[in-house]
Chain A
């Protein structure tokens, strides 16, 4: 039996009915009270209407995945019940609005009616329904009960006229819950105050880029990357940077390349369809050795696909997109904290190696709220591109000089005697077009060779779990969260499992991976795409056989799903969660 240390609360309803706001405020209040939170949401791709859900997982221990099953379901309407009751844990609690639907006969667990519309109306304003719901759920289950009024104040801020009626609705909700006879075991309260940030993945990417010294951003609206652009639009003018909402993604990345050629640190952010359009330009940046950072917040594909669902299916295009042999660096954060961390390093790596760097986030991470420990900013140096040293003589500047580490000095326009043309044609050390066989071979080797040392880096892998184990998980991106959860649960059963999270997908850190392979017998590679793109990469690069575990529903793995597979590989019975 595995003991739970957390509670998962899902608030579900219709887009526009306030259910998502209830969940959001609950997460904020829980985080402010000192709990670790991890949220997960789904929204329809349409503007108005359609089912929504907002889930909060809260614990006094760090939480790294959305949770396994729902402990508390708050169904704002009948459809919410229909859609979500299958996800409820065996002893889960149901909250429902009796104005909307009757308690379903098939539900035999603990249920509390919560007529939130009526409660809010009695308190003065029916539109305070979501705040009444917040009061009910917090009073029943804890989760930042002492911070609710702060949260409601912060949310309503400038709308003073609504504040009073909402606070009244909140208090009425709390009072209503206190009158209910509590019959369930769920209560989650913070055991202490902590200094933490509450951020989404997109917010952490914006913060990371700003800390890294971003000086130019160009982008085009696309879900789920748009609020990275909006964050940049707000901040860059305040710090003297350049910002552009371009006419399309091709223009976005070309503008970034132009700005970077001009000596500025540049970034764009998009999702899969935009990355497809950027492919040619990424090859150009690779060829001309112009630094640029591209964030791809992945969503379900192909084509328009599932714009409001997560998937890890852009790995192949990130690694290989575009024609010709075009090296690039690909990084993948697994958490909100890693969004900050890897965005800073994306800039540093782009500058240091003069190459495009793609950061692969995904929809679940873009909008997920997590509690984040404060960053130690002293651990984030700023690395700038190599520039020519000292005075230059006329016509002697070699932009693509074959130096010992194959990284060449790069000037920005404005420097005398260093004028050169960056061209996507194959070129010689001076940057002049040169298609001779020997030159193409030398320059291809230069562009790839300068990145080769990264294969030996240990900076972009994270090792968790047992030192030696029968089963070793190798994963990337947000799947690392449920993998860590599975390793943790296995540990509770005294089942040793090893885990390696790879943060750099290109160049692949083969030394660290090979070392890990020595420590495990079976390699299991869970990832959210149909093809097993990462499993295939590992097999191709390392010549090994791995077990691919794929999910392609538009939803992330749960830690139980992964634990189940670990059990199966050990010949053990299905895991049971308390």
Chain B
């Protein structure tokens, strides 16, 4: 991430400066509107120059988000936002890189990439909009849907249990783990801002309901609560305890530790082809 001071910079970019001219394709009332607004708020708070930001996504309703931002975007194939973001960040450490998408992208088809992204601990801010349903394909069950969930693809009820995304990333070594709710955009913007400021892998799980195929607004409003002030985000055990909680849904920063220090590497020198080829002289 570019070294932009978070608090003392003069305000050059307003939240609206990060919006593109494209009209979101989301249904009216979709939670993703709140997430988009919170991302814009967080970017403006961090005063990140839109030209130095790249937002990478996969496939799904929420993965269309990069197109709605006036920043660089890479709208990839289903499930593959994280490896593309890792390649981009490795090649261009000067850029601020975000990866965004939904529960299908990050917890189903692309789940295999998530622990590896977490354990690499690169400076990437991940925002997963979890609606516990496949919206773009019109209403099939997802890996975070509850057991017994009746959908078009599970007419007799989903037999599997939902997975715990935050527990997966915690177990994999993520250095920043948080959860927000699209209906609480102010708190969500704060969490994303903190994720952007974090120099390692920042994972922000967002409850972002689908009004059309699985309307959980009422349910989530009943279940969510803020992590207590007494919670110590450096306490991995405590973070894990909250991460597997399913009766209620805690919000806030679950876990935060300093990112990994890079290992020593040789001092780069320009490549000299002839010198290299001389190794192979007969």
**Chain A residues within an 8 Å CB radius of B147:** none
Determine whether the beta carbon of B91 is less than 8 Å from that of A264: yes
Determine whether the beta carbon of A422 is less than 8 Å from that of B73: yes
| B22 interfacial contact with A, CB 8 Å | yes
0/1 interface trace, chain A 417-451, chain B, CB 8 Å (1 if under):
11111111100000011000000000000000000
| B94 interfacial contact with A, CB 8 Å | yes
The segment out of B174-182, B190-198, B271-279 that lies at the interface is: B271-279
User: Once bound together, how far apart are the Cα atoms of A284 and B57, in whole Å?
Assistant: 13
**Chain A residues within an 8 Å CB radius of B50:** 419
Determine whether the beta carbon of A259 is less than 8 Å from that of B88: yes
Determine whether the beta carbon of B87 is less than 8 Å from that of A254: yes
Chain A, Cβ-Cβ closest to B109: A250
**Chain B residues within an 8 Å CB radius of A34:** 282
| A113 interfacial contact with B, CB 8 Å | no
Chain B, Cβ-Cβ closest to A268: B87
User: Once bound together, how far apart are the Cα atoms of A235 and B270, in whole Å?
Assistant: 11
Determine whether the beta carbon of A258 is less than 8 Å from that of B86: yes
A33 to chain B, nearest CB (A): 8
Within 8 A of A (CB), among B131-161: none
Determine whether the beta carbon of B66 is less than 8 Å from that of A251: no
Determine whether the beta carbon of A203 is less than 8 Å from that of B56: no
B70 to chain A, nearest CB (A): 6
0/1 interface trace, chain B 204-228, chain A, CB 8 Å (1 if under):
0000000000000000000000000
A562 to chain B, nearest CB (A): 29
Interface residues of B, dominant DSSP: mixed
**Chain B residues within an 8 Å CB radius of A417:** 51
Determine whether the beta carbon of B90 is less than 8 Å from that of A259: yes
B177 to chain A, nearest CB (A): 20
How many residues on chain A are close to B (CB under 8 Å)? Answer: 68
0/1 interface trace, chain B 250-282, chain A, CB 8 Å (1 if under):
000000000000000110111101101100111
Chain B, Cβ-Cβ closest to A417: B51
**Chain A residues within an 8 Å CB radius of B91:** 215-216, 242, 258-260, 262-264, 266
Determine whether the beta carbon of A414 is less than 8 Å from that of B51: yes
Determine whether the beta carbon of A194 is less than 8 Å from that of B282: yes
Determine whether the beta carbon of B92 is less than 8 Å from that of A263: yes
**Chain B residues within an 8 Å CB radius of A238:** 266, 268-269
0/1 interface trace, chain B 71-95, chain A, CB 8 Å (1 if under):
1111111001011111111111011
Within 8 A of B (CB), among A5-30: none
| B164 interfacial contact with A, CB 8 Å | no
User: Once bound together, how far apart are the Cα atoms of A414 and B21, in whole Å?
Assistant: 20
| A89 interfacial contact with B, CB 8 Å | no
A343 to chain B, nearest CB (A): 12
Given A32-B282, A258-B86, A417-B51, 13 other A-B contacts at CB below 8 A? A197-B280, A211-B271, A239-B269, A251-B116, A254-B77, A258-B88, A258-B89, A261-B84, A262-B91, A266-B87, A284-B76, A421-B73, A424-B76
Chain A, Cβ-Cβ closest to B91: A259
User: Once bound together, how far apart are the Cα atoms of A477 and B77, in whole Å?
Assistant: 32
**Chain B residues within an 8 Å CB radius of A256:** 87
| A207 interfacial contact with B, CB 8 Å | yes
Sort chain B's interface into a size bin.
35 or more
Known: A258-B84, A261-B88, A374-B277. A414 touches B94 (CB 8 A): yes
A sample of 10 inter-chain contacts (CB < 8 A) reads A196-B282, A244-B90, A247-B83, A252-B83, A254-B84, A255-B84, A261-B84, A262-B87, A266-B87, A413-B52
Chain A, Cβ-Cβ closest to B96: A413
Known: A258-B84, A375-B277, A416-B51. A242 touches B282 (CB 8 A): no
| A541 interfacial contact with B, CB 8 Å | no
Determine whether the beta carbon of B83 is less than 8 Å from that of A255: yes
**Chain B residues within an 8 Å CB radius of A80:** none
Known: A195-B281, A242-B91. A207 touches B84 (CB 8 A): no
**Chain B residues within an 8 Å CB radius of A421:** 66-67, 72-75
Most B CB contacts (10 A, CB to CB) among A240, A243, A252 go to A240
| A281 interfacial contact with B, CB 8 Å | yes
Determine whether the beta carbon of A240 is less than 8 Å from that of B268: yes
Contact of A419 among B72, B84, B270, B276 (CB under 8 A): B72
**Chain A residues within an 8 Å CB radius of B22:** 432
| B54 interfacial contact with A, CB 8 Å | yes
Contact of B277 among A32, A194, A207, A258 (CB under 8 A): A207
| A319 interfacial contact with B, CB 8 Å | no
Determine whether the beta carbon of A254 is less than 8 Å from that of B76: yes
| B113 interfacial contact with A, CB 8 Å | yes
Known: A250-B80, A264-B92, A416-B51. A255 touches B282 (CB 8 A): no
Determine whether the beta carbon of B87 is less than 8 Å from that of A255: yes
Determine whether the beta carbon of A284 is less than 8 Å from that of B77: yes
| B112 interfacial contact with A, CB 8 Å | yes
Determine whether the beta carbon of A261 is less than 8 Å from that of B282: no
0/1 interface trace, chain A 363-397, chain B, CB 8 Å (1 if under):
00000000110110100000000000000000100
**Chain A residues within an 8 Å CB radius of B72:** 413, 419-421
User: Once bound together, how far apart are the Cα atoms of A329 and B90, in whole Å?
Assistant: 26
Determine whether the beta carbon of A31 is less than 8 Å from that of B282: yes
B54 to chain A, nearest CB (A): 5
B23 to chain A, nearest CB (A): 11
| A152 interfacial contact with B, CB 8 Å | no
**Chain A residues within an 8 Å CB radius of B76:** 254, 257, 284, 424
| A415 interfacial contact with B, CB 8 Å | yes
Chain B, Cβ-Cβ closest to A380: B273
User: Once bound together, how far apart are the Cα atoms of A263 and B54, in whole Å?
Assistant: 13
User: Once bound together, how far apart are the Cα atoms of A199 and B280, in whole Å?
Assistant: 6
**Chain A residues within an 8 Å CB radius of B85:** 258
Determine whether the beta carbon of A258 is less than 8 Å from that of B116: no
Within 8 A of A (CB), among B91-126: 91-92, 94-95, 112-113, 116
Determine whether the beta carbon of A420 is less than 8 Å from that of B51: no
Chain B, Cβ-Cβ closest to A281: B77
